[in-house]
Amino acid sequence: MRKNLWPAFAAVGLCLAVPGLGRAGLITFDDHYVAGIANTVSYNGLQNATQLTEAYAAEGVHFSGPNNGDGTLNGGAIVYDAGDQYNLGVAPHSGNNVLAFNRNAQVGGGPYYYWFPQSPAGKATDPETITFDSTQSQVSIWAAGGLQAHQFLIQGFDANNSLVDSQTATTQGWSELTVSGGGIQSVVLTEIGHAGDSWVYDDLSFTPDGSAGVAGGASGAPEPGSLVLLSLGGFGLAGWRWRIGMR
């Protein structure tokens, strides 16, 4: 009976060691520190916010708004809004923070962490582009119109900027937007209802392609724990073959 455990042990070790297998990443925008670096979160609404750009670069995820060509920064900003404190019309999907937008709101007045340099003033407008260091098979994010129903569009593009998948949704409360398909290098989030008020996103999740490495990582190299599991799987296979040879 015991000899039958060797192939099972080997299979479990090898499967768990495969990079990117069932290893989805999640960004909730609630991190006060990302990879030891203070994240810029506004505790006073969008007027004192700073656009989200490279706060999650260490996780292989980059954010950018539309480029005006004049040196100003545009795009969404992380806002502390526990219990809809700043009257966005909806409480966060999880935690206390949301990624907020308003085409009429000028941001860049300075982040909550005052020792950060202020960025050039711009608008909290879209489209917002999220770029990944490694390709993804699925990307999802929750969207909410808040004060009124908004129409949202999510598009997934490959490394050649060819469209992989897209989805639209009209919602006032929280609704999940998802794109799927191998080779997603970036997603673009757009509010297509031409709203004049705010809207928000929360809980970005992403699943890497099977050969792309660990979710949220930039290198694609196996983690130390994966290497240990891979070694255990190899020992299991070796032991199994040895027992077969001894029959």
String of DSSP letters for 201-228: EEEEEEEE-TTS-STT-SS-PPPHHHHH
- Please choose, from the candidates 84, 198, 66, 208, the residue with its C-alpha nearest in 3D space to the C-alpha of residue 137: 208
| 232 three-class SS | helix
Pairing of strands 122-124, 163-171: unpaired
Angle at 129 (CA atoms; ends 124, 131), nearest 5 degrees:
140
Pairing of strands 128-144, 175-191: antiparallel
Q: In angstroms, how far is the first alpha carbon of the chain from the final one?
A: 14
pLDDT at 241: 54
What's the CA gap between 153 and 135, in Å, rounded? 20
Domains of the chain are: 23-215 (2.60.120.1360)
Task: Give the length of the chain.
Answer: 247
pLDDT at 247: 54
What residues have CB less than 8 Å from 157, skipping those under 6 apart? 163, 164, 184, 185, 186, 187, 188
Q: What are phi and psi of 42, to 5 degrees?
A: -85, 130
What residues have CB less than 8 Å from 140, skipping those under 6 apart? 176, 177, 178, 179, 204, 205, 206
What's the CA gap between 29 and 204, in Å, rounded? 8
What's the CA gap between 15 and 229, in Å, rounded? 9
- CA 235 to chain CA centroid, Å, is 36
What residues have CB less than 8 Å from 82, skipping those under 6 apart? 91, 92, 96
Check residue 41 and report its DSSP letter.
Answer: -
Q: Write out the two tokens for 183.
A: 């080779």
Q: Which amino acid is at 52?
A: L
Angle at which helices 5-17 and 224-245 cross, to 10°: 150
Q: What is the pTM of this model?
A: 0.74
- CA 196 to chain CA centroid, Å, is 26
Per-residue pLDDT of the chain (247 residues; tens, 9 = 90+): 444 554 444 444 444 444 444 468 999 999 888 877 788 888 888 878 888 999 999 999 999 999 877 777 899 999 999 989 888 999 999 999 999 999 988 886 544 444 444 455 689 999 999 999 999 999 999 999 999 999 999 999 999 999 999 999 999 999 999 999 999 999 999 999 888 899 999 999 999 998 444 433 333 344 444 444 444 445 454 554 555 555 5
- Is the backbone peptide bond immediately before 127 cis, with ω within 30 degrees of 0? yes
